[in-house]
């Protein structure tokens, strides 16, 4: 499976049984900030993440689902407060050189709320919510994939 889950297909069955279970699968993503330095990068999973709403996964036949496509060129994110971001990165152990990369941005960029290199936005987590009924009992389960940023 690719780490970005772009071509992922899901088939839901009972444990050790190939009989499909009728379910609904919904998915959501968490968009996170990454700080880049010509190769190495620092993933900021806990700083100001953006959470998407759950959407129904695409059914592709007999209890099979396909993960929703992601438009990586148009990922949503909250406005960036650069002084807050610099303070957060400075607070991480051993990360002061990473904060210095942000400080080197032109002052007009630091005063904006937009994403500027060396920062980028990526999908840090993909969440799948599976709901259905089994043996007369309703159930709801979640699966979380943590996706590494960069190459």
pLDDT band at 8 (very low <50, low <70, confident <90, very high): low
Query: Residue 1: pLDDT band by 50, 70, 90 thresholds?
Result: very low
Region of 63 (left: φ > 0; alpha: ψ -120 to 50; beta: rest) is left
Average pLDDT over residues 39-55: 91
Mean predicted confidence (pLDDT) in 21-25:
81
Structure tokens belonging to residue 121: 């936005």
- Position 2 scores a pLDDT of 37
92-148: per-residue pLDDT in tens?
998 889 999 999 988 888 888 888 889 989 899 999 998 988 788 898 999 898 887
What is the model's pLDDT at position 129? Answer: 93
CA angle 42, 44, 49 (to 5 degrees): 155
Cβ–Cβ < 8 Å for 126, 147: yes
pLDDT > 90 fraction of the chain, expressed in percent and rounded: 34
Residues 6+ apart with CB under 8 A from 88: 44, 47
Element at 97 (helix H, strand E): helix 96-103
30-53 average pLDDT score = 90
Q: What is the pLDDT of residues 32-43, one digit of tens each?
A: 999 988 878 899
pTM of the predicted model as reported, rounded to 2 decimal places: 0.81
């Amino acid at each position: 499976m690719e780490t970005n889950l772009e071509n992922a297909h899901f088939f839901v069955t009972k444990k050790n049984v190939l009989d499909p279970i009728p379910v609904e699968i919904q998915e959501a993503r968490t968009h996170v900030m990454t700080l880049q330095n010509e190769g190495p990068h620092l993933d900021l999973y806990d700083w100001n993440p953006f959470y998407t709403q759950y959407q129904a996964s695409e059914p592709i036949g007999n209890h099979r689902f396909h993960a929703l496509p992601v438009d990586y060129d148009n990922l949503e994110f909250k406005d960036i407060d650069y002084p807050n971001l610099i303070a957060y990165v400075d607070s991480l152990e051993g990360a002061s050189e990473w904060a210095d990369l942000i400080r080197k941005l032109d002052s007009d960029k630091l005063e904006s709320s937009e994403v500027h290199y060396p920062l980028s936005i990526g999908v840090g987590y993909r969440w799948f919510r599976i709901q259905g009924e089994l043996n007369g009992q309703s159930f709801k389960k979640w699966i979380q994939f943590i996706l590494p940023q960069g190459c």
